[in-house]
A = this chain, B = another copy of it.
Amino acid sequence: MRDLSADHALLSLNTATVRKQGDLLAIVEACSRHGIRAISPWRDQVAAVGLDRAVRAVKDAGLRLSGYCRGGMFPADGAHREAARDDNRRAVDEAAALGSPCLVLVVGGLPQFSRPGSAPSKDLPAAHAAVEDGIAELLEYGRAANMPLAIEPLHPMYAADRACVNTLKHALDLCDRLDPARQGGLGVALDVYHVWWDPELSAQILRCGRERMLAYHVCDWLVPTRDLLLDRGMMGDGVIDLRRIRGEVEALGFAGFVEVEIFSNDWWSRSMDEVIETCIARHRTVV
Contact = CB atoms under 8 A, between A and B. Distances in A.
* Chain A interface helix/strand/loop/mixed: loop
A197 B161 contact: no
Interface in A205-229: 221, 223-226, 228
Nearest to A220: B122
A166 to B, nearest CB: 6
Interface residues of A, number: 30
A114 to B, nearest CB: 11
Contacts of A160: 197, 221, 223, 239
A89 B249 CA distance: 41
A226 B225 CA distance: 11
List 10 tightest A-B contacts by C-beta distance, closest first.
A159-B197, A122-B241, A156-B197, A160-B239, A157-B157, A156-B156, A160-B223, A161-B223, A122-B239, A170-B199
Interface of A: 110, 113, 122-125, 128, 155-157, 159-161, 164, 166-167, 170, 196-199, 221, 223-226, 228, 239-241
